[in-house]
Amino acid sequence: GAGVSQSPSNKVTEKGKDVELRCDPISGHTALYWYRQRLGQGLEFLIYFQGNSAPDKSGLPSDRFSAERTGESVSTLTIQRTQQEDSAVYLCASSLDRGAYGYTFGSGTRLTVV
Amino acid sequence: AQSVTQLGSHVSVSEGALVLLRCNYSSSVPPYLFWYVQYPNQGLQLLLKYTSAATLVKGINGFEAEFKKSETSFHLTKPSAHMSDAAEYFCAVSGYSGNTPLVFGKGTRLSVIA
């Protein structure tokens, strides 16, 4: 597609429920990144994919968080047993190769855990 | 490892005045440096990037930044602020060749007063 597409744009869920966030990167972009942005904070790195492998998943906060990517296409970030501290905007970005020339970001998914 | 420090979480300038947003980085390897802008309820948009070519980098919307190795700085400037420049600005660093995911600063919110 023309840009990075994320869905849903907004998600409200009850504490303890599982959620899935989707990212559709720009066609041909081999690298894909997930970041979390809490209110008033900077971007916190979660995980990075090169193709469908994840060379760096060091930012995942706990084993409740997982992500997968199909080929060089769609990625899904799953949060199990959501907690209130998971409330944030989850941003996805993609880039050519390793992104030496910058990333293209999606508009994000705003997750609210109530 | 890389890190970024943005001095000032909030900067306020008058319309037509100089904009100066400060960014200092730490990197164990030659860095790639980026400035992104985030408008309300939107994803991040690349303003400009330094990738070891010219030290003075010009970006979109009249912004520019100068890489100063001796000061480990990459400050963002614009000679004359416009109301439409009001947004959140993020500085980011990556290792040489972009082999590591971008590390972002906490952001600086720019307000422009009429």
Nearest by Cα to A111 from A54, A68, A58, A65:
A65
Please tell me the distance from the alpha carbon of residue B75 to that of residue B57, in angstroms, as a whole number: 11
pLDDT at A103 exceeding the cut of 70: yes
Share of chain B above pLDDT 90, in %: 72
Q: Distance (Å) from the C-alpha of residue A107 to the closest C-alpha of chain B? A: 4
Per mean pLDDT, which range of A16-30, A65-79, A97-111, B57-71 is the poorest?
A97-111
Average pLDDT over residues B49-71: 91
- The pLDDT tens digits for B84-114 are 999 999 999 986 655 678 899 999 999 999 9
Chain A residues touching B103 at Cβ < 8 A:
45
| N-terminal to C-terminal alpha carbon distance within chain B | 41
Q: Which helix (H) or strand (E) holds B74?
A: strand B73-78
pLDDT value at position B40?
84
CB contacts < 8 Å between A and B, how many? Answer: 57
The tokens of B31 are what? 């860095």
Chain A residues touching B98 at Cβ < 8 A:
95, 97-101
Does the beta-carbon distance from B34 to A102 stay under 8 Å?
yes
The tokens of A112 are what? 């609210």
